[in-house]
Chains A and B, each alone.
Chain A
Amino acid sequence: MADTSPIFQCKDLKIEARPWDASPIPIVKGVTFDVKPGEVVALIGESGSGKTTISLASLGYTKPGLHFSGGEAVLLGKDMITIDPEERRARRGEHVAYLAQSAAATFNPALKINEQVTESAVLHGHMSQEQANKRARELYEALELPDPDRIGGRYPHQVSGGQLQRLMAAMALVEKPSLLVLDEPTTALDVTTQIEVLKAFKKVIEEEGSAAIYVTHDLAVVAQIADHIVVLYGGEVMEQGPVEQIINNPSHSYTKRLMSAVRPTPSAGMGEGATGEHRREVPALEVKHVTAGYGKGSDGKPAVTVLRDVNVSVERGHVVGVIGESGCGKSTLARVMAGLLPASEGEVLLDGDALKPALADRARNELQLVQFVFQMADTALNPRQTIGEIIGRPLTFYHNMTGRARRERVLEILRLVELPVEFEGRFPAEMSGGQKQRVNLARGLAANPEVLLCDEVTSALDTIVGANVIKLLERLRRETGVSFVFISHDLSTVASFADEIVVLYAGRVVEKGPVDQVLSPPFHPYTRLLIASVPEMRVGWLEDTMQTREAMAGISRGVTITKVGCPFFDRCPVAIEGTCEKIDPPARVDEHGHNHVIECHRQIDELGAPGAAQSAAASAKKAKVAKKANGGSAAAAKAAPAKKPAARKPAEAKKAAPAAKRAAPAKRATAAKKPAAAKKPAAKATPDDLQQISGVGPKIAGQLKTMGITTFEQIAAWKKADMDSFNEQLKFKGRIEREQWVPQAKKLAKAKK
């Protein structure tokens, strides 16, 4: 588009709420900004800043109860507010499309996906049903959805959350709108899914050339996708400018505050550094060999097993963070601890004594000592009870407090969670989300527990509010000596607050240990994937991650629970075929850490620095492939040097490795290869981790190795003819990034010098 006049202009927009019994309350107080063709404008701010309300104005829509009270929302030259309603309806979908936060709620459960994706185009008469289906199919493909021919025929509940989010993008893009409105489209997703969705969005926005308004409170996400940022607070623009300027050089104090509330990317050294020396004899709460699940199957086992042989111990006064993607069994673990879900096998020990599995069988003092704080304060607090009653109830129930004593204790607890004492007489509906979460915590603390189970307590809160709740939790744990089990899918939150981390994957504890040890090598491959997926507040992070990540294989897969073996097998870049999926992985103790345990078939040393694990994987694969290989490639495999450090057999490496452990990747080759060397074995060069090239998985790396391709330089020197001959030999299909190998390899070869 050569035309540079803005696609959308927000001119002094004012929106107010008109309660029936009170005077109007301004929600948006005169906001002005432009969206130019091909530009992504991010609206950022905490909840209540009016960002969603403003974005919806571009569709000429307000949520029920809100009204436009001034200004204009000009889309392609026409004000969407004063436009004729029929024309406005026609423009929605055609010129401007909306993507909501929760695709799960936004898709009609009773209609097939394709019907909903194509509906707008067909209704507006722009396409026949066949044309729309064709267009939808193209979009499914562009959004990298699996099985694009058939996914449209499914119902929304039959696809995963991340897929649904991308399908919603297809729904918005079907008519090629000039403006896309994305309202927190990745907030509800796991970090790994978020990457995949962000990548798809970014690609599609670029390809379709549409402009976008991106609403979010997550600055790290903004840095990946936006060109221009508008910072909002209380319905007013605080600051706006290009993304680099706002991210690197914010001028307004509110923007700075927003930036400071962003949790740092998890790294070693963030935890409180609790080590084994200070342990007491008996942990406060211990979970031993617990297997649990839902439903009733045959032979007394649950129909769906969610946790399989889980061991976790919570030391007195410690904070144990439990992380993992959704569906990994984090909440189920908390429910087993609390007794809400009786374990089918194993036991839960409180102060060394076994607790009855079911809540109903536990004694009152046992109940008192383990308290649960639920994720949604909105649903956990009784809307008909005052805050005083909510906090007072456990006081009476567990401590027989009544009258004045009870009231005084309620006020004391309110002060403890930093709420004004006047809140005693208020109802939950009269409080903000953060305040309700504090009451929720206060209710748990009122019982005077030994262990407080916090299930995603900050997940529904804004960055700033969430950070304040974490600060409160840190103070509480210092002052009360309560042990916390802190469940979150957000690694940064857990890392900033916990002493120990338990990484759950598909109902198995794959790694556990003190925070800095879990967050530094050696890693379980899943922990590594999680850490690598947390967005950094840096422009270009997304591209870097997508280019260099070793674990490409791991991103776009869902969590599948397995009955035996390592459940991470299908997403693991270093999986050992024939072993990992068949045998339960051994718990390996990191002898250089304190109680740092990794459950993996790989040796601890192989799980160290990025290069080590990959090379080990590649060599293991190579050995296997070499047996099968024939002709020239077999010769190449034989010629592949067996004495290089990284190619050692695991057992050998174990002896030699401690020194190299946690060190940077292995030594680098020095000489660049001549073009013709492509087909000759790389006799003297140290192999590189070819999987750093996007599109090279463990399998292809193994195949390349059998042909003697082990370094970046070799690939960098490929000519087109080499490329074609390799394509022929490799016989792999589907990976589109092949043409990109050479430039990537060049970059990587340069980088390692």
Chain B
Amino acid sequence: MMSQMIIRRIGIGIILLWVVSVLIFALTQVLPGDAAQIRLGQQATPETLAALRKELGLDKPWYMQYLSWMGNLFTGNLGISAAGGATIESLIGNRIGNTVFMTGIVALISIPLSVLLGLLAAMFPGQLLDRIITSGTLGLIAVPDFFVAIFLILLLAVSLGLVPAVSYLSGTEGFWRSVYVLALPIATLVIVVSAQMIRMTRAGILNVMGSPYIEMAILKGVPRKTIILRHALLNAIGPIVNVIALNLAYLVSGVVVIETIFAYPGLAKLMVDGVQTRDIPLVQACGMIFCCTYVILILIADIASILSNPRLRHPK
């Protein structure tokens, strides 16, 4: 039963990705002008246009174009940037490492931190610590991320001068040096994503805390800490993993403001630049990457909550 469910989820994920690919491809068909026109710009003559179209395969019917685009995607050939003529792989290759690096560091800090703070808040509901955590996180969710970023720059970089305000990596720095350079965007992102995860962890745990089996554990003389860690957390994993997955996906795709503020060359900023220059192949590639990230992360979260359910893990 469980493996069936997991296979079903994976199937749905694949269908979802296919639908997304159709939509993203449709973008090129709907927008006025095509890649050839954009590439040639002012110098376009009917002859050069036709030649380039032929070279790019744009004279073929749309379904053939879709198939060849998909084929290229699978072989890692993402096309040529309309703006600079460089291959898209080379453009993205630089950025993807940056994004993965920063996302990884932020996840490593924020996930344990959020679960810990959420558990602490749930352990003493209504008490001072809980109130500080809940009102603090609510405040942080309400404040826009760029505000947090600017505030941190003013405080840590400008006033105190502890860390650099601009996060430029030359590519030769070691790990700790990189973390130091990126300290500000990392701090900003940790603050922004943790707030939500802390609240969900707390809510998930407290929701379970009303169950009769928790009351039973109290009446068995189990200490509150053990009740939360052993009895409640296991049953609250589903919702917590889901909110973690959503926040990670946001880190990959949605941090354009942060990347802009800190001038950090990440994927999100690359896509926004692509939009500005009407570099459609680039936008398509970035779009596919972001969608894949979302689908895969949510898929992982779904599978995790299926696996955390003993009813599905151990059928009768």
Contact in complex: A94, B234 (CB < 8 Å): no
Contact in complex: B213, A61 (CB < 8 Å): no
Contact in complex: A59, B219 (CB < 8 Å): yes
- The 0/1 profile, CB within 8 Å of A marked 1, for residues 214-232 of chain B is 0111111111001000110
Q: Could you tell me which residues of chain B, from 200 to 254, have a CB within 8 Å of some CB in chain A?
A: 211-213, 215-223, 226, 230-231, 234-235
Query: Is A363's CB within 8 Å of the partner chain B?
Result: no
Alpha-carbon separation in the docked complex, A124 to B308 (Å):
28
Contact in complex: B234, A111 (CB < 8 Å): yes
Query: Is A109's CB within 8 Å of the partner chain B?
Result: yes
Alpha-carbon separation in the docked complex, A102 to B215 (Å):
12
Contact in complex: A123, B216 (CB < 8 Å): no
Asked if A89 meets B212 with Cβ closer than 8 Å, knowing A109-B235, A109-B311, the reply is no
Contact in complex: B223, A157 (CB < 8 Å): no
A557 to chain B minimum Cβ distance, whole angstroms, is 16
- The 0/1 profile, CB within 8 Å of B marked 1, for residues 670-707 of chain A is 00000000000000000000000000000000000000
Residues of A within 8 Å of B221, CB to CB, are 89-94, 120, 123-124
Query: Which residue of chain A has the shortest Cβ distance to B311 in the bound complex?
Result: A157
Q: Could you tell me which residues of chain B, from 269 to 316, have a CB within 8 Å of some CB in chain A?
A: 308, 310-311, 314, 316
Residues of A within 8 Å of B234, CB to CB, are 108, 110-111
Query: Is A105's CB within 8 Å of the partner chain B?
Result: yes
Q: Which residue of A97, A110, A157, A158 contacts B220 across the interface (Cβ within 8 Å)?
A: A97
Contact in complex: B222, A100 (CB < 8 Å): no
Query: Which residue of chain B has the shortest Cβ distance to A158 in the bound complex?
Result: B316
Contact in complex: B310, A106 (CB < 8 Å): no
Q: Which residue of A59, A100, A120, A157 contacts B310 across the interface (Cβ within 8 Å)?
A: A157
Residues of B within 8 Å of A541, CB to CB, are none
Q: Chain B interface secondary structure, helix, strand, loop or mixed?
A: helix
A314 to chain B minimum Cβ distance, whole angstroms, is 34
Residues of A within 8 Å of B311, CB to CB, are 109, 155, 157
State how many residues of chain A have any CB contact under 8 Å with chain B: 29
Q: Could you tell me which residues of chain A, from 154 to 178, have a CB within 8 Å of some CB in chain B?
A: 154-155, 157-158, 171
Alpha-carbon separation in the docked complex, A247 to B216 (Å):
32
Contact in complex: A93, B310 (CB < 8 Å): no
Residues of B within 8 Å of A91, CB to CB, are 221
B210 to chain A minimum Cβ distance, whole angstroms, is 8
Query: Which residue of chain A has the shortest Cβ distance to B235 in the bound complex?
Result: A110
Q: Which residue of B211, B219, B226, B310 contacts A123 across the interface (Cβ within 8 Å)?
A: B226
Query: Is A119's CB within 8 Å of the partner chain B?
Result: yes
Query: Is A372's CB within 8 Å of the partner chain B?
Result: no
Q: Could you tell me which residues of chain A, from 100 to 117, have a CB within 8 Å of some CB in chain B?
A: 100, 102, 105-111
Residues of A within 8 Å of B216, CB to CB, are 98, 100, 106-107
Alpha-carbon separation in the docked complex, A105 to B210 (Å):
11
A654 to chain B minimum Cβ distance, whole angstroms, is 43
Q: Could you tell me which residues of chain B, from 136 to 159, have a CB within 8 Å of some CB in chain A?
A: none
B303 to chain A minimum Cβ distance, whole angstroms, is 17
- The 0/1 profile, CB within 8 Å of B marked 1, for residues 54-98 of chain A is 001001010000000000000000000000000001111110011
Contact in complex: B212, A119 (CB < 8 Å): no
Q: Which residue of B211, B213, B220 contacts A93 across the interface (Cβ within 8 Å)?
A: B220
Asked if A110 meets B217 with Cβ closer than 8 Å, knowing A105-B212, A123-B222, the reply is no
A93 to chain B minimum Cβ distance, whole angstroms, is 4
Alpha-carbon separation in the docked complex, A120 to B216 (Å):
11
Contact in complex: B220, A92 (CB < 8 Å): yes
Asked if A100 meets B316 with Cβ closer than 8 Å, knowing A61-B218, A91-B221, the reply is no
Residues of A within 8 Å of B231, CB to CB, are 108, 110-111
Alpha-carbon separation in the docked complex, A108 to B218 (Å):
12
Q: Which residue of B211, B218, B219 contacts A105 across the interface (Cβ within 8 Å)?
A: B211
Contact in complex: A157, B222 (CB < 8 Å): no
Query: Which residue of chain A has the shortest Cβ distance to B218 in the bound complex?
Result: A61
Query: Which residue of chain A has the shortest Cβ distance to B231 in the bound complex?
Result: A108
Alpha-carbon separation in the docked complex, A56 to B218 (Å):
12
Contact in complex: B219, A61 (CB < 8 Å): yes
Q: Could you tell me which residues of chain A, from 434 to 454, have a CB within 8 Å of some CB in chain B?
A: none
- The 0/1 profile, CB within 8 Å of B marked 1, for residues 125-159 of chain A is 00000000000000000000000000000110110
Alpha-carbon separation in the docked complex, A158 to B215 (Å):
22
Alpha-carbon separation in the docked complex, A134 to B222 (Å):
21
Contact in complex: A111, B212 (CB < 8 Å): no
Asked if A108 meets B213 with Cβ closer than 8 Å, knowing A155-B310, A157-B311, the reply is yes
A253 to chain B minimum Cβ distance, whole angstroms, is 35
Query: Which residue of chain A has the shortest Cβ distance to B219 in the bound complex?
Result: A98
Contact in complex: B230, A111 (CB < 8 Å): yes
Best-surrounded residue of A91, A102, A158, A171 (most CB of chain B within 10 A):
A158
Contact in complex: A110, B310 (CB < 8 Å): yes
Query: Which residue of chain B has the shortest Cβ distance to A61 in the bound complex?
Result: B219
Contact in complex: A106, B213 (CB < 8 Å): yes
Query: Which residue of chain B has the shortest Cβ distance to A108 in the bound complex?
Result: B213
Residues of B within 8 Å of A171, CB to CB, are 220
Residues of A within 8 Å of B215, CB to CB, are 100, 106
Alpha-carbon separation in the docked complex, A90 to B221 (Å):
6
Query: Which residue of chain A has the shortest Cβ distance to B210 in the bound complex?
Result: A64
A156 to chain B minimum Cβ distance, whole angstroms, is 8
Alpha-carbon separation in the docked complex, A92 to B316 (Å):
32
A125 to chain B minimum Cβ distance, whole angstroms, is 11
Alpha-carbon separation in the docked complex, A107 to B212 (Å):
8
Alpha-carbon separation in the docked complex, A106 to B212 (Å):
5
Residues of A within 8 Å of B211, CB to CB, are 105
A751 to chain B minimum Cβ distance, whole angstroms, is 44
A312 to chain B minimum Cβ distance, whole angstroms, is 29
Alpha-carbon separation in the docked complex, A97 to B217 (Å):
11
Alpha-carbon separation in the docked complex, A263 to B219 (Å):
34
Residues of B within 8 Å of A154, CB to CB, are 314
Contact in complex: B219, A158 (CB < 8 Å): no
Best-surrounded residue of A97, A107, A108, A158 (most CB of chain B within 10 A):
A108
Contact in complex: B308, A100 (CB < 8 Å): no
Best-surrounded residue of B220, B230, B235 (most CB of chain A within 10 A):
B220
B266 to chain A minimum Cβ distance, whole angstroms, is 38
Contact in complex: A158, B314 (CB < 8 Å): yes
Contact in complex: A123, B223 (CB < 8 Å): yes
Alpha-carbon separation in the docked complex, A181 to B217 (Å):
15
Alpha-carbon separation in the docked complex, A106 to B231 (Å):
11
Asked if A109 meets B310 with Cβ closer than 8 Å, knowing A61-B218, A100-B216, the reply is yes
Alpha-carbon separation in the docked complex, A291 to B229 (Å):
47
Residues of A within 8 Å of B222, CB to CB, are 93, 119-120, 123
Residues of B within 8 Å of A120, CB to CB, are 220-222
Contact in complex: B220, A155 (CB < 8 Å): no
B165 to chain A minimum Cβ distance, whole angstroms, is 47
Alpha-carbon separation in the docked complex, A551 to B92 (Å):
76
Alpha-carbon separation in the docked complex, A100 to B219 (Å):
10
A-B contact pairs, 8 of them (CB 8 A): A92-B218, A100-B215, A100-B216, A105-B212, A110-B231, A123-B226, A157-B311, A158-B316
- New A-B pairs, 20, CB < 8 Å, besides A89-B223, A123-B221: A61-B219, A89-B221, A93-B222, A97-B219, A106-B216, A107-B213, A108-B217, A108-B235, A109-B213, A109-B310, A109-B311, A110-B231, A110-B308, A119-B217, A120-B221, A155-B311, A155-B314, A157-B311, A158-B316, A171-B220
B-side residues, CB < 8 A to A, are: 211-213, 215-223, 226, 230-231, 234-235, 308, 310-311, 314, 316
User: Which 9 residue pairs of A and B lie closest in terms of their CB atoms, listed nearest first?
Assistant: A92-B221, A110-B234, A93-B221, A105-B212, A120-B220, A108-B213, A98-B219, A155-B310, A93-B220
